[in-house]
């Protein structure tokens, strides 16, 4: 992809240390949000503070390069879980040792936030005179460790209408053990209330209905309930989390109320309604006397899958392979992240990618410092390609035509991108147009645009004259960068991108 803007690694590390020092265990994210906002102001960008709940703000910022290009958002969450017992050091004091930085939230996900800030700072330095077209957003949300209130609030803003998202959660993707989520399971909580009939405990059969006994029978039967199966995600799961019922102060009374909570991991094809239906059918199949009520309190997450062959994901993959040296490994994730909200509810194409580390939600949490710079670089490279025309870059429908048909030898086989695939979007380094633009300038689209614009100035009307002028100009580029032929007359376009 040619030369890239410089990422300030010292500032990135300083940000990480500062972030770890800030207490942001939910629901106390405000101090960290203020820090993020101030860092953004120092880049010359005015942030927006969006209170999700008292003392719990999201932070948004946007770099607008002009034009009608795509809107790409870098996202992460500001909250951590509380520190658990067993830390050998102060969890809010970053400790660097043997290439690792230890501290609460270091990997989940203050390391990712530091990478996002570094990439955003780098892109903010590009200025309006760059060849980029579109917007880059930064979004830091609250409550991921709770109910994802911040992520859902984001969907109600302009950020919810973005074209694509990079989410800096702790998945690095360089091996099957450390994969990038190709999707994730969902989750639903089921709260089951059983109401029986009180009676004297010495004479339980005389009008009594024991709600605890019925709850025990239902819980015992959960292990026999058929759960969903998926060829990639495996089996759904169900786990009882809590049960309560009976007297609050000792009394010889048949318990007339019992309530239990269970959580169910959902695989694609399952949802809240199907989970409730399964449990209701199980309860009806048992000889229970109590009245059964099923509720689904928050949080609820739908399962999701991403299209790893989409234009945006392929652009990310190219940036990743060039930076990390291997192709990213995608695999289904059994768990939930804020991407469940962004993809399943917001329909935002989202790649989850962040630095390496371990021990999140445990003592001794750390991030591997060597992985910070590659993450920031991939974010920058993906953004440069996505906003410079190198990826498309609008997927506006099932039939997309390439704007290079007069210059590409492969276009003689058809100009429909889906069938010809002769495009920057589809063929990568095999695309003739991309080899010209990438080799000539190091930035997708720019070299081609310069060539087009110069030919256009020579003759603004479609004619053989402009075609000949383009051919003359093309000789100024190295011969190895011109594996295409001119066919027919040249037709100018306002920008080198895909149109429907």
The per-residue pLDDT for range 440-493, each reduced to its tens digit, is 333 333 334 444 444 444 433 333 333 444 444 444 433 333 333 233 222 222
Domain limit, last residue, from 335, 370, 387 = 387
pLDDT confidence band for 68 (50 / 70 / 90)? confident
* 199 phi, psi to nearest 5 deg: -160, 175
Residues in contact with 53: Cβ distance below 8 Å, sequence separation at least 6, in sequence order: 27, 142, 149
CA distance 230 to 260: 27
Residue 245 in 3-state DSSP?
A: strand
Residue 118: count of CB within 10 angstroms of its CB: 25
Do residues 145 and 289 both lie within one domain? no
Do residues 286 and 317 both lie within one domain? no
Angle, helices 432-441 vs 446-458, to 10°: value is 100
pLDDT attached to residue 225: 93
Do residues 123 and 219 both lie within one domain? no
First-to-last C-alpha distance (Å) of the chain? 26
User: Tokens for 121?
Assistant: 């700072």
Kindly report the CATH number assigned to the domain that includes residue 244.
3.30.70.360
pLDDT, mean of residues 344-357: 97
Residues in contact with 54: Cβ distance below 8 Å, sequence separation at least 6, in sequence order: none
pLDDT attached to residue 405: 42
pLDDT attached to residue 81: 96
Question: Does 127 have pLDDT greater than 90?
Answer: no
Domain limit, last residue, from 352, 372, 387 = 387
Do residues 195 and 77 both lie within one domain? no
Do residues 93 and 223 both lie within one domain? no
Look at residue 308 and tell me if it is in a domain: yes
Look at residue 220 and tell me if it is in a domain: yes
Place of tokens 């979007």: 425
pLDDT, mean of residues 214-235: 95
Look at residue 251 and tell me if it is in a domain: yes
Residue 46: count of CB within 10 angstroms of its CB: 10
- Strands 56-64 and 135-141: what pairing? antiparallel
pLDDT, mean of residues 110-122: 97
Do residues 30 and 162 both lie within one domain? yes
Contact between 474 and 458 under an 8 Å Cβ cutoff? The reply is no
CA dist 350 → 78, 99, 232, 313 (Å): 18, 29, 19, 8
Look at residue 418 and tell me if it is in a domain: yes
Domain limit, last residue, from 324, 358, 387 = 387
The per-residue pLDDT for range 374-433, each reduced to its tens digit, is 999 999 999 999 998 654 433 333 333 344 443 443 333 333 333 333 333 333 444 444
Look at residue 3 and tell me if it is in a domain: no
Q: Please count the structural domains in the chain.
A: 3
Task: Give the residue from 179, 428, 453 showing the smallest Cα distance to 318.
Answer: 428
For residue 23, the surrounding DSSP H or E stretch is none
Do residues 192 and 337 both lie within one domain? no
Q: Calculate what percentage of the chain has a pLDDT beyond 90.
A: 74
Do residues 283 and 226 both lie within one domain? yes
CA distance 485 to 127: 35
pLDDT attached to residue 456: 40
Domain that holds residue 221: 186-295
Query: What pTM did the predictor assign?
Result: 0.76
Q: What is the mean pLDDT of the chain?
A: 82
Do residues 402 and 347 both lie within one domain? no
CA distance 394 to 396: 5
pLDDT attached to residue 66: 86
Do residues 463 and 428 both lie within one domain? yes
Look at residue 2 and tell me if it is in a domain: no
Kindly report the CATH number assigned to the domain that includes residue 104.
3.40.630.10
pLDDT, mean of residues 352-375: 96
CA torsion sign for 200, 204, 206, 211 is positive
CA distance 330 to 434: 26
Look at residue 4 and tell me if it is in a domain: no
Q: Calculate what percentage of the chain has a pLDDT beyond 70.
A: 76
pLDDT, mean of residues 289-304: 96
Do residues 143 and 245 both lie within one domain? no
pLDDT, mean of residues 320-347: 96
Look at residue 177 and tell me if it is in a domain: yes
Do residues 314 and 398 both lie within one domain? no
């Amino acid at each position: 992809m040619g030369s890239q803007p410089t990422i300030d690694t010292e500032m990135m590390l300083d940000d990480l240390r500062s972030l770890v020092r800030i207490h942001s265990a939910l629901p106390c994210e405000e101090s960290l949000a203020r820090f993020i906002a101030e860092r953004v102001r120092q880049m010359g960008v005015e942030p927006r503070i969006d209170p999700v709940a008292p003392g719990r703000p999201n932070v948004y910022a946007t770099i607008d390069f002009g034009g009608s290009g795509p809107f790409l958002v870098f996202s992460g969450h500001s909250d951590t879980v509380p520190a658990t017992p067993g830390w050998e050091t102060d969890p809010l004091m970053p400790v660097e040792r043997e290439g690792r930085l230890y501290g609460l939230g270091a990997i989940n996900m203050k390391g990712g936030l530091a990478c996002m800030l570094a990439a955003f700072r780098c892109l903010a330095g590009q200025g309006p005179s760059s060849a980029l077209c579109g917007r880059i957003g930064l979004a830091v949300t609250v409550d991921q460790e709770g109910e994802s209130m911040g992520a859902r609030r984001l969907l109600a803003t302009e950020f919810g209408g973005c074209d694509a998202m990079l989410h800096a959660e702790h998945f690095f993707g360089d091996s099957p053990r450390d994969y990038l989520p190709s999707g994730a399971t969902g989750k639903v909580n089921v709260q089951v209330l059983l109401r029986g009939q009180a009676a004297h405990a010495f004479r339980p059969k005389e009008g009594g209905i024991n709600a605890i006994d019925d709850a025990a029978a239902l819980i015992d039967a959960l292990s026999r309930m058929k759960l969903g199966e998926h060829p990639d995600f495996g089996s759904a799961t169900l786990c009882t989390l809590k049960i309560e019922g009976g007297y609050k102060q000792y009394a010889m009374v048949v318990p007339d109320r019992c309530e239990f909570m269970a959580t169910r991991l959902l695989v694609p094809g399952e949802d809240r309604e199907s989970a409730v239906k399964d449990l209701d059918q199980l309860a009806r199949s048992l000889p229970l006397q109590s009245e059964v009520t099923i509720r689904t309190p928050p949080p609820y997450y739908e399962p999701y899958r991403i299209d790893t062959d989409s234009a945006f994901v392929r652009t990310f993959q190219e940036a990743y392979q060039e930076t990390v040296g291997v192709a990213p490994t995608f695999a289904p994730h059994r768990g939930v992240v804020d991407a469940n909200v962004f993809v399943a509810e917001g329909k935002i194409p989202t790649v989850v990618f962040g630095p390496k580390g371990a021990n999140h939600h445990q003592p001794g949490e750390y991030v591997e410092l060597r992985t910070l710079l590659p993450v920031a670089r991939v974010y920058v490279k993906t953004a440069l390609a996505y906003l410079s025309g190198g990826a498309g870059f609008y997927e506006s429908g099932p039939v997309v035509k390439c704007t290079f048909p007069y210059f590409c030898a492969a276009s003689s086989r058809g100009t429909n991108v889906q069938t010809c695939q002769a495009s920057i979007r589809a063929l990568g380094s095999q695309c003739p147009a991309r080899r010209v633009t990438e080799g000539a300038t190091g930035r997708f689209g720019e070299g081609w645009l310069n060539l087009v614009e110069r030919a256009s100035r020579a003759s603004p009307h479609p004619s053989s004259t402009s075609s000949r002028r383009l051919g003359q100009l093309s000789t100024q580029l190295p011969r190895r960068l011109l594996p295409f032929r001119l066919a027919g007359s040249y037709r100018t376009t306002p920008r080198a991108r895909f149109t429907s």
